[in-house]
Amino acid sequence: MVDDKRGVAPIRRVTRDVTYCTHSRFNEPTLIVSPGETFVAETELCTGDWLKSIDDRWEPGIGFGPNPTIVVEIDGVQPGDMLAVHIDDIQPDELGYTGFAPGQNPFPDWIRHVEWGVVTKTVRIRDGLIEWSDDLKLPIKPMIGTLGTAPAVEVFSNAWPGRHGGNMDVQEVCPGATVYLLVNVPGALLHIGDVHAIQGDGEINCGGGIECRAEVTLTVNLEPKPERMSWPRIVDDTHLITVGCARPAEDAFRIAVEQLIYWLADSYNIDERDAFLLLGQVLEARCTQFVDPLYTYVAKINRKYLR
């Protein structure tokens, strides 16, 4: 909290009492903030509020979802603007889970040769560690799985990623990063939810990463939109990162690389042909999730290569 005695208002908080399972212009915001304001968002578990005890276990159909999000309006922003969402902090809850079930997503179906049934694990999260077992503790790497703005026309399930952001499941959406999102409706209607305490590349379990509730501290700003930006972008301490979402995965990769070339050409005055050659040497890219309706690819370049 900021000291009231200095005449500065305390950081406002939006609770998880009202959530939505779609990205939509029809969702009513719980909080209205000003550009430049910092606020705290209490996010809900991706499958609802069922996880109360270390003894609770996930099963298909439990809770509600997908990926309930709180909605925050940013005062004064208009379609055509660009929202810069800085992630100041993510504090995971003390309980989380991961798991999958037959037919829930294609990835386990490709891998297994006998039926595994419902496979799940509930874990404690404390002292910066995920207590996977008595012998194994995983350092937390918290991230926001679902972060996006309301589309201009469509209503997307919170299972979907796209140009609006949404359920991208990108590990770089983490403390210290700034996520740039397109504004499609007045007020932007920022949707926030689906925090993971950690997530491996591909998110092959479908249920995470370690899915958890969290307290997320964000600062939102308004910045001019680059002319050729048409997908989310991310900046962190070391990299420029672009996002593409599509099926097949090759199309998602192509979108991410194309957007990165546009970024280098338009913001760093690098000829597109030279940018393509440079990325052929130093590009970093991977599929962050193979389980949503559209796959997510990120393309990255280390900022040390940019003068």
Q: What is the mean pLDDT of residues 266-282?
A: 98
| Predicted pLDDT at 110 | 75
Alpha-carbon distance of 201 to 199, in angstroms, equals: 7
Q: Which CATH architecture group holds 4-226?
A: Sandwich (2.60)
Asked if residue 217 lies in contact with residue 40, where contact means CB atoms within 8 angstroms, the answer is yes
pLDDT at 3 over 50: no
Whether cis (ω within 30° of 0) applies to the bond prior to 48 is no
- Percentage with pLDDT > 90 across the chain: 89
> What is the average pLDDT value for the chain, to the nearest integer?
95
Considering only CA atoms, which of 197, 210, 296, 284 is closest in space to residue 253?
296
pLDDT at 203 over 80: yes
Alpha-carbon distance of 36 to 104, in angstroms, equals: 40
Q: What is the mean pLDDT of residues 21-40?
A: 98
Q: What pTM was computed for the model?
A: 0.95
Quick check: helix, strand or coil at residue 27? coil
Q: What is the mean pLDDT of residues 186-210?
A: 94
Alpha-carbon distance of 167 to 203, in angstroms, equals: 12
| Predicted pLDDT at 49 | 96
Alpha-carbon distance of 87 to 170, in angstroms, equals: 13
